[in-house]
Structures are given as structure tokens and as C-alpha cells.
Chains A and B, each alone.
Chain A
Amino acid sequence: MKTNNQHINNRYQRQIILKGFGQEGQEKLAGARILVIGAGGLGCPALLYLAAAGIGTIGIVDFDLIQESNLHRQVLFNEADLGHLKVSIAAQELRKRNSEINIHEYPIRLEPGNCLSILEKYDFILDGTDNFSTRYMINDACVLLKKPLIMGAISQFEGQVAVLNAVDEKSVNYRDIFPEPPQSGEVLNCAEAGVLGVLPGIIGVQMANEVIKLITGIGSPLVNQLYTYDALTNNSQVFELTKQPAAAELLPATREAFEQTDYEWLCGEKKGIEELDINQFYTLLQLAKLQIIDVREYGETPIPTDFEYIQIPLSELKNRLSEIDSPTVIVFCQSGIRSKKAGELIKNKHSDLVKIYNLSGGMNKWTSFKQEKNAS
């Protein structure tokens, strides 16, 4: 009978004999814990190679079901899997290929409330998601938890890979490249713009390669760099990234602030006028570029001094709609009733441009909120 060591040497022999890799590199892979978020175009190839390489523990997060239009690029799935959970089939396929690794399935939608407790359990986070709200949430969570993030993203024929947050506090994160999320519809995803099937294959395998280099310490991972690849021309480039101090202010500073951040809203993925409670309002004051509008009439009190705002009384709003020039607007009044009407007026005028929030409870709520805060 073979000893366990002989068996491991056999299975991974072709990489163990590599210069700089060795038995030690293999043991590092076996001890590593990696979370792959999104078992889609990028997740499938990354998972296949991470499992094959002998990563000891792999978590997979995805709440989606397998659809026919996934099959041209999501190579862990076959025709018989349609309608099944991606995480279940992915885990089952990986276990067939490597029975000696631990695979954890998370068939859930990652949200600020559950994100930190899952990410905490892993050493490296691989982002293969397909929307900006999740991408910004994962980035911010990795900064809070000090977890290295391997970011991959694709569009049509082009891909990007970066290793973020990898070494220390001086390492860049996604907000150092793109501080604020694009608004909904600004950047098209695969469903809207299409994607060449092999592209996520190439980019997903590159992400797996970056993880393996980070764990084993071989080569030069894309730390603080953005790699770009064009499948049509084979043009690939590496851009240097630098820390952007102003971007740090956009990050939630604490777990509590993170958990209260509405990433779907920040990314404009919610429609219509939304009610904003006082805690959300307080958090967002620090997080996003906002235009805050007081729609009370002149002379009404209290006058808030803790944030910047402009006053456009409801009676004048119809003639002053052109003054609204931010993609994100919060309206308030004394109790939240007149401001709701104001929100409707703004929405009718700026239906495509503006994301509108109504401060629930208005200045009444704000005053009592401030009193409680000062008392505590």
C-alpha cells in the first residue's frame, strides 16, 4: 500500500518537481483556504484548476441556477444540470476530480449582512461575480478583513485581472482604481453585451494562477497591478496601480457601517423612490456623493448643520428642477411627507438620471437621532 506521502507525491509530481515549488509549495496549497464568489464564467475554470492543484479548502458562493445560456462558457456544467444550483453541481464535479480536498457550498446571495462572516473563514477571496454592487461589496469587505482579493472581470472580448489588498495597508484596492461604482446601465454585463466563451476561461485560469503564486510565493503575482487581455488581438498589458488617499474615505470604516451600506442602491441597481431610514442616511452621508435638498419653505426650523444641502422649497421646485445635477439625490422636509411629493416631481423630470431617496421622518427623526447620539 502506498503511504499518503507517496500518493501526494504521485498525484502532484509534475508541479512538485518545479524549481521553487517542491513539497513545500504543495503543502502550502493543501493548507490554503480559498473562497470563490460566483461559479460562473470565471468561477468554473478557476475552480477546476484550483481543485486540480490541490488547494485544501475551497468555498463556493452562488445562489443562481444553471441556465442553457451558461453552457458555452461555464464548463463545469452539462445539459443534464439545467435548473440545478450552480454551487451543488460545481461541488459535485470538483469532488469527482479531487476527493481529498474540502469543498464548502454557499447557495446564498452574498449581502452586507452575511458577507463578513463567510469571507472571514478564508485566506484568499476570488471575485468572479457579474455585477458592480457585489464587486464593490466584496472589495470593501476584503479591505475591512484585510483579505487578499483576486479580482477578475470580463466584457465581450476583453478581460481584467488584479491582485488587490494583498500585502499591507499600502496595497491598493478596487476603489483606488475606480473609487465609485458606475450607475446601472453605464457598463453592460455579459447578459447585455455578450461574451466570447473562451474569454472567461482564459481570465478565470489566470485568476487561479495568481492565487497559486500568492500561496506558494513563486513568481510575481499582479500585486498592485491591473492586467488587461484582449482575445481578439492577443494584446495583453500590465498597468501599475497606486493608492488614492481620497478613495479611502469612500470605504465603510467599521463592520457596522459596512453592514448598513446598501450596495445595490450605491450602484443604482434599485429603481424608483426609496425610503431612507435615519441610520442609512447617516451612513450614506459619509459614503457617497450626494445632493441633499431641503424642500421646506423658507424660515422653517431646525436648520441642519451636520451636512451640506441646498434649499428648494416644494412651492418653487417645479421651476427649479434644473438645479438638480447629481445622479443621487436625497430629499427631506419636516416629517417626510412633502419631500415624498418632491421626490415624485424630480423623478418625473429626471427619470433616467436621478436616483432619489426620501428621508423617512424628515427633520423630526434627524433631531431625535442627533439627541440620542449626543446623549450616548
Chain B
Amino acid sequence: MSQQELNIQVFGQLAEIIGGSSIIIPFIETTGELKNRLLQTYPALQNNRFVIAVDKKIQSNNATIAPGASLALLPPFSGG
């Protein structure tokens, strides 16, 4: 993986939609753009709630992504 790419870990049922528990995508500058790109690539994500973490911090607003940042997509779980 180069600085021009981002590694995204994918949790829970989101992995079934994305087709794996981790993906590598070309670099993107903000979490807002990332979300748009993911929804374009995986339209089924539209029906799934998730949050984006950048370097282990959950981002609720549009956040900047630094080159080499580690990203994660986390859905809520309901099971008990």
C-alpha cells in the first residue's frame, strides 16, 4: 500500500456488502468524500447505518484524512 492509497477495515455485516473485511482504495481527502464514493461503489450501503473512524477516532462530522491514515467502517450491533 502506498501513500496514495487508504486501507479501510470493515466491520460486521458491512463486510458482506463490501465483499471483505478490508479494502484498499485510492487516497481521498475527507470522510464526506469517502462516504460518497463508498455509496457510489456499493449502493447497498445506503440501507446500512455506519460510522467512519480515522486513525481510531470515530468521526461524526466531515473530517480530514491524512495520507497513510487507517480507516474503519463500523455498524451498530443489536444482538445480546
Contact = CB atoms under 8 A, between A and B. Distances in A.
5 closest A-B pairs by CB: A153-B77, A244-B60, A190-B79, A130-B80, A155-B77
B76 to A, nearest CB: 5
Nearest to A187: B78
B78 A153 contact: yes
A66 to B, nearest CB: 15
Interface stretch (A39-47, A87-95, A256-264, A341-349): A39-47
A238 interface: yes
B49 A187 contact: yes
A193 B15 CA distance: 14
B53 A195 contact: no
A147 interface: no
Given A155-B13, A186-B47, A186-B48, A135 B58 contact: no
15 contacts: A127-B80, A129-B80, A152-B80, A155-B77, A155-B78, A177-B76, A187-B77, A193-B13, A193-B79, A195-B79, A200-B80, A237-B56, A239-B53, A246-B60, A247-B60
B60 A128 contact: no
Interface in B34-80: 47-49, 51, 53, 56-58, 60-61, 72, 74-80
B77 A160 contact: yes
Contacts of B48: 182, 186-187
A240 B56 contact: yes
A216 interface: no
For chain A, what secondary structure do more than half of its interface residues adopt (helix, strand, loop), or is it mixed?
mixed
A242 B78 contact: no
Contact of B80 (A128, A186, A241, A247): A128
A130 B78 contact: yes
Contacts of B80: 38, 40-43, 127-130, 152-154, 190, 200
A182 B14 CA distance: 14
A154 B79 contact: yes
Contact of B58 (A41, A153, A239): A239
A140 interface: no
A99 to B, nearest CB: 28
A158 interface: yes
Contact of A242 (B49, B57, B72): B57
Nearest to B49: A182
B77 A154 contact: yes
Interface in A227-281: 228, 237-242, 244, 246-247
A130 B79 CA distance: 4
A156 B11 CA distance: 11
A98 interface: no
A132 interface: yes
B12 interface: yes
Contacts of B53: 239
Contact of B77 (A159, A241, A244, A246): A159
A286 interface: no
Given A186-B48, A239-B74, A177 B79 contact: no
Contact of A228 (B47, B49, B57, B74): B74
Nearest to A154: B79
A127 B60 CA distance: 23
A132 B80 CA distance: 11
A75 interface: no
Contact of B60 (A176, A187, A190): A176
B58 A187 contact: no
